A and B are shown apart, each in its own frame.
Chain A
Amino acid sequence: MQIKDLFSKKKYATIPSERPKRDIPEGLMNKCSKCGTIQYSKELDKNLKVCSSCGHHYRLSAWERIGMTLDDGRLFEYDAEMESVDPMEFPGYKGKLEQQRQKNPSLREAVVTGEGTINGHPVVVAVMSFDFFSGSMGSVVGEKITRAIEAAHEKKLPLLIFSTSGGARMQESILSLMQMAKTSAALSMFQGAGGLFISVFTDPTMGGVSASFASLGDYNLAEPGALVGFAGRIVIEQTIRQKLPDNFQTAEFNMQHGQLDLVVHRKDMKVTIGKLLDMHTVREGLSHGG
C-alpha cells in the first residue's frame, strides 16, 4: 500500500434522511404555500382556511365563500344555468371550457350570484371563483354581475361582490373587454340612484376585473395578503427593469397607498360587512337628540 492511498477519497453511501419528506396525503392534510406548515384539512377548515401558523389566507372557491359569509350559508341563486359559448371560435376555447366545468362540477362559470342575508340584512351577492378559468371575465361573468347589479337596483338591496380574477378572458377578446364597460355602466345607474356597493378584493384580483367593478365599491375592502393590481408583476419588472419589493400589490401595499378602505381578516369579514350594512339601515323611531 502506498502512502497516497491513505488520502484518497472514500465513497460514502447516501442514507435517506430521517426527517420525513414534507409531502402530504391527498385530502387529509394541507401544506401552506407561504410558510410550509402542514395542517389537518379539518383544522384548516375550522380556521376558515387561514394558516394557523402564518395567517396566510388560502384561496376559496365561490361556494366555500358563500358558506362562510351568508346566514346559514344559504343563497337563492340567480342565473345558475348560464354558461359560456365560443363567440370568436377561438382555437381551443370550447375544450378548455369543458375541462373547467369537469374540474369544478359545482360551477358553470367563474362567478356565482344570488340573494341571501348577512346577520339578517338581505343582500345581493356575487362571488367569484379563481378555480374556474382563473376567474377570468368573459361574457357570462360580465352578464351575471350586471344582472346582479340590476337586481340590487330593482329590489333596492345592498350589493356585495367578492372578486378574484386573473383579468379578461382573452378567448372572448373584445367581448370580454366590453364587460368592463357593461358592469361599470350598470354601477353608474345603481350607485347614481343611491345604491350601496361593498366590494371585497380577494387573492388575486388583477387586470380587467380590478379595473372595472371591483374598484368601484362605495367601500373597498380586501383580505390580508391579497394581490390587487392592474398589470402583473412580471410585465412591470420587464418594463421598468427593476426588481419589485415582495409586498408589491398586496392588500397592505394598496392600503398604504390609499387604494383601500380596510384590510379585513377572514374571521372578521362577516362581522365587518354586517356592521357596514347596519350603518346603512334606516331605523324607524330614532330621533335626533330626543
Chain B
Amino acid sequence: MAAEQMLPFEKPISDLREKIATLKTLAENNGMDFSEEIARLEEKCKAMEEELYNEMTPAQKMHIARLHQRPTSLDFIQAVFTDFMELHGDRLFADDLAIVGGLAKLNGLPVTVIGHQRGKDTKDNIARFFGSPHPEGFRKALRLMQQANKFNRPIITFIDTKGAYPGNTAEERGQSEAIARNLREMAGFGVPIVCIVIGEGGSGGALALGVGNRVLMLENAIYSAISPNGAASILWKDATKADIAAEAMKITAKDLLEFEVIEDIVEEPQGGAHRDLAFTAERLKEKLWKHLVELLPMTPEQLIEDRYHKFRKIGQFRMAEAASQETPQASQESDAPEMTESAKV
C-alpha cells in the first residue's frame, strides 16, 4: 500500500499503527507470539479512529477536504458515469484546464458533466492553475451548459476550487463578468441542475458552477464565501489562524444543511473519501440519481421556478421597529425581541 499522507491530528493513530506493525514484524522474525497484544492494540486503534473521525472539528474537515490525494472531479466522473467524452474550449480565447467538462451517461441517461479540476502532481497542477479558473474556464462551462440546455440534458457539476484565479490576465479578461454571467444564466436553464461540492468550495469561483436545483456536499467538504485563511488574514492579520476562522465560519456540510444552503450530504468512508474512492463514488451516485429522478419529470418552467425559490429564500435579517427608525440607537436594546424572518417569495 502506498504511504498515506497523515494529517497532524491523525498522528496518534498513525503512531499506534506503526507500533502494531513493529510488533508484527517482531513476532514474525523471532517466532514469538504477540497475537493477544496485537489484537488488543488493534481494538484500541479502531476505537480511537471512531472517536477521532466521528467528532471531527471544522478545521480538521478543512484539512481533509484539501488533501492532495482527495479524489478530484475526473476521479468521480470516471467512477460514477460511463462513456465520458471530454469537450474543450470556450470558443473565445482558450481551453482552461482548471475546468473539465463534457458528455457522459448516468445509468444510461445522457448528461453534461462539468467540474473544477485540480492537478495530480506539480506539473499537472501548474497546467490546471491548481483548479482555479480564469474567465475562459467559466465561459467554457457556460458554453457546455448552454449546449445541455439546448439538447435538454441534465447538468451535473462538481465543485472543488480554492476560488477563481487571482491574476492580472484574469482581471483583464473580465473575471467578475464571467462569474456573474454564469450565475445569471444558470438561474435560467430549463434543465435539471445538480451540483456536488466534493472538496473545497471557495467563493465566487465555486458558486459560478453552483446555481443548481439541488446542491449536495460530500461529508468532509467545505463551502464558504472566503477561505478560512483569507478571513483570518483580514480579521486578525494572521493567515495562520485559519483553523480558528474555520470554526467560526460555519463551513461544513452539516452547517450548510442547517442553513438550507444545501439539500443533502454524501457519506464518506471513515477518515475521508481518499481512503475509498469506490465507496464514496457509489454513495455519490445513489444520491445524485435520487435527486435527479425527482427533477426529471419537471417542466422547464418548473425547474427555473424551483431553482429561483431555492436561492430566493436564503438570507437572514430582521425588520427594526418603526419607532426606532429616526433613532437607530434604539435598536441597541439587546432584550428587544429578535424578529428574524426569512424572506418569502
Contacts and interface: CB of A to CB of B under 8 A. Distances in A.
Given A102-B329, A170-B231, A174-B250, A142 B184 contact: no
Contacts, number: 208
B261 interface: yes
A216 B314 contact: no
B224 A81 contact: no
A84 B340 CA distance: 9
B46 interface: no
A178 B203 CA distance: 10
A169 B183 CA distance: 19
Interface in A203-258: 207-208, 210-216, 228-232, 235-236, 239-240, 242, 244, 248-249, 257-258
A173 B184 contact: no
Interface stretch (A26-34, A186-194, A274-282): A186-194
Contact of A139 (B173, B312, B315): B315
Interface string B184-213: 110110000000000000011001001100
A10 B184 CA distance: 74
Given A230-B170, A230-B204, A175 B187 contact: no
A45 B157 CA distance: 51
Contacts of B181: 215-216
A83 B249 CA distance: 20
A185 B180 contact: no
Interface residues of B, number: 63
Contacts of A84: 317
A176 B325 CA distance: 25
A124 interface: no
A212 B180 contact: yes
A170 B185 contact: no
Secondary structure call for the A interface: helix
Given A168-B226, A181-B207, A257-B173, A236 B168 contact: yes
A87 interface: yes
Contact of A174 (B164, B174, B224): B224
A234 B111 CA distance: 40
Contacts of A236: 166-168, 171
B332 A98 contact: yes
A270 interface: no
Interface of A: 80-85, 87-88, 90-91, 98, 101-102, 105, 108, 139-140, 142-143, 146, 167-170, 172-182, 184-189, 191-192, 207-208, 210-216, 228-232, 235-236, 239-240, 242, 244, 248-249, 257-259
Given A101-B328, A215-B177, A248-B168, 5 more contacts: A139-B315, A177-B223, A211-B204, A216-B184, A239-B166
Q: Across chains A and B, which 3 residue pairs bring their CB atoms closest together, nearest first? A: A231-B166, A139-B315, A184-B183
